[in-house]
Amino acid sequence: MALPKLNEAPKYSITIPSTNKNVRFRPFLVKEEKVLLLAMESEDQDHILQAILDTITACVVDELDTRQLTTYDIEYLFTKIRAKSVGETTKVGLACEACEATNEIIIPVDDIGIKRNEDIKSIIELAPGMELELRHPSYLELFEDELVKSGETAAATFAMIRMCLKSLRTEDSIIDLQKEDPKELDEFLESMNTTQFESIREWIENIPAMAHDIEFTCSCGHANKMELKGIQSFF
């Protein structure tokens, strides 16, 4: 005999940061929470990230191509889904800057938001009549690129920069850089001067992320002030 379904999950609306598209989602159920817990216990970063992506895919009830979401879309969606699933606050352990004692701090999830640097623009003028348009890579692009995941090497840096190149605009044409050969893109980057190249690096270093400024006083009396950034800082 088939057992009845216990609950009709409520639906909530959320706006995806990178696209401003509204989608509906439900809280995650025990089956999704189990997958998340197993992933956390494994301490395998790839396993954890895949579990987060699978949870979002399961909980968003409207049509959504999760493969096109940026890292900060994923962070934002998961944070809000978790808030409606297990509670509107999260507890983090923060080390005092003075005595290094761990302080348990409760943070309202609604206080955690996307931090953007509005001074960083996606259009860089390389020369008169020539503009480079940049983009934020999708979560899947970063997740699947072994070179980018390998660490802080010159090759990894160039691979990450290639992902961020969207188009090259001149007075006569628009070149889709996503379709260009990686070797040609590297030669294009190597032909830049330091100022031009640093403008791209600055774009990468300022990719939006979940962030929260927090202040607390340790039992030793030291007043701490720090920024938590990235989903791993909160859960």
Whether the pLDDT of residue 1 is over 80: the answer is: no
Q: Structural domain boundaries of the chain?
A: 12-113+210-233, 123-205
- Give, to the nearest 10 degrees, the angle between helix 154-164 and helix 194-205: 80
Rounded distance between C-alpha atoms, residue 185 and residue 132, angstroms: 12
Which pLDDT value is given to residue 162? Answer: 92
Q: Around Cβ 209, how many Cβ atoms within 10 Å? A: 17
Give the model's confidence band at 59: pLDDT under 50 very low, under 70 low, under 90 confident, else very high. Answer: very high
- Residue 172 CA: distances (Å) to CA of 63, 135, 169, 184, 207: 38, 22, 8, 20, 30
User: d(Cα 111, Cα 106) in Å, to the nearest integer?
Assistant: 11
> What are the φ/ψ torsions at residue 127 (nearest 5 degrees)?
-165, 165
Give Cα 174 distance to the centre of its chain: 28
pLDDT greater than 90 at residue 184 = yes
